[in-house]
Structure 1
Amino acid sequence: MPDSKLILPDRRRRQLLTGLGALGASAALTGCDNLSRNETVQNVLGATDRLTRAAQRLVASRQSLAREYSPADIADTFRPNGTTNPDNDAYQRLAANRFADWRLHVDGLVRRPGDFSLDALRALPSRTQITRHDCVEGWSCIGQWTGVPLGDVLDRVRPTDNARFVVFHCADNIYGGPVKYYESLDMVEAYHPQTLLAYALNGAPLPVANGAPLRLRAERQLGYKMAKYVMRIELVDSFASIQGGNGGYWEDRGYEWWAGI
């Protein structure tokens, strides 16, 4: 029997999820690459990106919150998406030592570049929220996330006035190839109160399959924006020199950069 807390998108969800869900709500990760090359998907992505970004920024408050749920709504198992165990020696060594040697490096357009251990992040004021993860493949899942608000970390490194975007560099090599996952947010989403650097899921340390030791939760965005296995955060004024120049791994392959819901 399927998990009652693992839910498919309802009819009121925006056109993007409807269109992509019709193409295969149960697609595996490899399906994402196929979806990114599909002309119908690209038409849906392009149209809804322009519409929802304009609508959300013009109508909704910058501080408007994504819906939060009750403990009764939490899925028994939070479905992992994307990579579930980065297959590279550097990550495996960190995991074997329970991430005691892991450090989050924050640099770029900041006045005080810094490194944060997992214990240092846990010592900062935290936020816990129960939210729904909406995957571009058409499925949803509810989980409880605990972490430090990204804005609090940014305040400690003091972004310069030229900083426009926050880029998340990750440990996982997609499909075992040479390219590591990356994603980005603008400063509005970065400072949103529900945007977390999460280190716990459902009251326990974040599992490897869900992005240990640290993952992004940006609750007003679709799942592909929520980078897992975050190793470095870089503040930039442009994506031009970062991988394909479009602000994210899937964006370099045709997805829209704006994924607000």
Structure 2
Amino acid sequence: MNRTPRPTDLRRRRFLTRAALAGGTLLLAGCDRLTRSDAMRQVFDTGSALTQGVQRLLASRQALAREYSPADIAPTFRANGTTNPDDATYRRLAADGFRDWRLTIDGLVETPLSLSLAELKAMPSRTQITRHDCVEGWSCIGQWTGVVLGDLLARAGVRDEARFVVFHCADRYRGGDPYYESLDMLEAYHPQTLLAYDLNGADLPIANGAPLRLRAERQLGYKMAKYVMRVELVESFASLGRGRGGYWEDRGYQWWAGI
């Protein structure tokens, strides 16, 4: 059972959140230049690992991100990143209301899955009102409904050697490499980690990631992949992108984005 956080714990968590956001902003402002240096990559990676370790020391494995009331929901949920993928297959699926779209779950699993949007919506769901914190400095509160990722992983049967869950997406940010993101198993099994298909009581809009997007509420916004097409269980990132666990991580962002 989770204990009630003490005031000292809350002060420490607020300090860590501010420090993480400040560090992230500094990193993003100069990542194109700084991350060309292997030495600077080591500095950022060490800082990321330290932040992750301290946060998990102070917080319960199942500690929940704050949830809000319906009165706090923003009138319009701001979209981040790609807002209308130009992939031909995606556009064909969107034109038909995603009736032929399917989510693939494979990799290091006992039972690979292929699920339609209707099948996902027929599964037990969770609804939560949470705040999206973007590394660019803005926040927005919205209500999300979707399938708890841990339930899908249990259904697929994760093999012991799997260490990460990778989300492959339909978009290519500004026409570049395919977008992807990843979580470790602790965040993947967190009760607030959803594959969401509904925003504010309606089907997820294309600008916000339709038909399915990741919500990992203890992470910054760039971790919350949109337009998810495939979930892959892997042991390492070696064969993915540039080997750092995500589209933006391959370009200098920290892999650990906990807040």
Residue 135 and residue 48 in structure 1: after superposition, are their counterparts in 2 closer, same or farther (change >3 A)?
A: farther
Residue 239 of structure 1 aligns to a residue whose secondary structure is: coil
Note the 1:154-169 alignment, pairs <5 A. Answer: 154-169=153-168
Candidates 17, 20, 27, aligned match of 1:16: 20
Are 2:185 and 1:196 equivalent residues in the alignment?
no
Please tell me whether the aligned partners of residues 20 and 51 of structure 2 are also in contact (alpha carbons under 8 angstroms): no
Q: Distance in 2 between matches of 1:69 and 1:44?
A: 36
Residue 185 of structure 1 aligns to a residue whose secondary structure is: strand
Residue 38 and residue 128 in structure 1: after superposition, are their counterparts in 2 closer, same or farther (change >3 A)?
A: farther
Are 2:225 and 1:221 equivalent residues in the alignment?
no
Question: Quick one: which amino acid aligns to residue 210 of structure 1?
Answer: N
Per the alignment, residue 249 of structure 1 pairs with 247
Q: Distance in 2 between matches of 1:232 and 1:123?
A: 19
Residue 190 of structure 2 aligns to a residue whose secondary structure is: coil
* Structure 1: gaps (5+ residues): 1-9, 24-31
Deviation at 1:180, TM superposition (A): 0.8
Q: Distance in 2 between matches of 1:135 and 1:73?
A: 18
Q: Distance in 1 between matches of 2:156 and 2:91?
A: 28
Deviation at 1:36, TM superposition (A): 3.0
Residue 151 of structure 1 aligns to a residue whose secondary structure is: helix
Deviation at 1:60, TM superposition (A): 1.2
Q: Distance in 2 between matches of 1:228 and 1:146?
A: 14
Are 2:48 and 1:49 equivalent residues in the alignment?
yes
Q: CA RMSD in A?
A: 2.2
When the two structures are superposed, what TM-score results if normalisation uses the length of structure 1?
0.87
Candidates 31, 41, 65, aligned match of 1:36: 31
Please tell me whether the aligned partners of residues 16 and 55 of structure 2 are also in contact (alpha carbons under 8 angstroms): no
Encode CA deviations 1:207-238: one digit per residue, 9 max, x unaligned.
00000000000000000100000000000001
Question: Quick one: which amino acid aligns to residue 136 of structure 1?
Answer: V
Please tell me whether the aligned partners of residues 17 and 137 of structure 1 are also in contact (alpha carbons under 8 angstroms): no
Encode CA deviations 1:170-202: one digit per residue, 9 max, x unaligned.
00011113x110000011000000000000000
What is the identity percentage for the equivalent residue pairs of Structure 1 and Structure 2? 69
Question: Quick one: which amino acid aligns to residue 148 of structure 2?
Answer: P
Are 2:85 and 1:97 equivalent residues in the alignment?
no
Per the alignment, residue 209 of structure 1 pairs with 207
Q: Distance in 1 between matches of 2:127 and 2:41?
A: 35
Per the alignment, residue 122 of structure 1 pairs with 121
Residue 15 and residue 137 in structure 1: after superposition, are their counterparts in 2 closer, same or farther (change >3 A)?
A: same
Per the alignment, residue 6 of structure 2 pairs with none
More helix per residue: 1 or 2? 2
Q: Distance in 1 between matches of 2:15 and 2:58?
A: 21
- Structure 1 outlier segments of 4+, above 6 Å: 40-44
Please tell me whether the aligned partners of residues 36 and 42 of structure 1 are also in contact (alpha carbons under 8 angstroms): no
Note the 1:116-155 alignment, pairs <5 A. Answer: 116-155=115-154
Residue 135 and residue 192 in structure 1: after superposition, are their counterparts in 2 closer, same or farther (change >3 A)?
A: same
Q: Distance in 2 between matches of 1:42 and 1:138?
A: 23
Deviation at 1:55, TM superposition (A): 1.2
Deviation at 1:51, TM superposition (A): 3.1
Deviation at 1:58, TM superposition (A): 1.7
Residue 193 of structure 1 aligns to a residue whose secondary structure is: coil
Q: Distance in 1 between matches of 2:42 and 2:66?
A: 28
Per the alignment, residue 111 of structure 1 pairs with 110
Residue 127 and residue 51 in structure 1: after superposition, are their counterparts in 2 closer, same or farther (change >3 A)?
A: same
Encode CA deviations 1:43-81: one digit per residue, 9 max, x unaligned.
995565233201122221110000000111100000000
Deviation at 1:16, TM superposition (A): 3.1
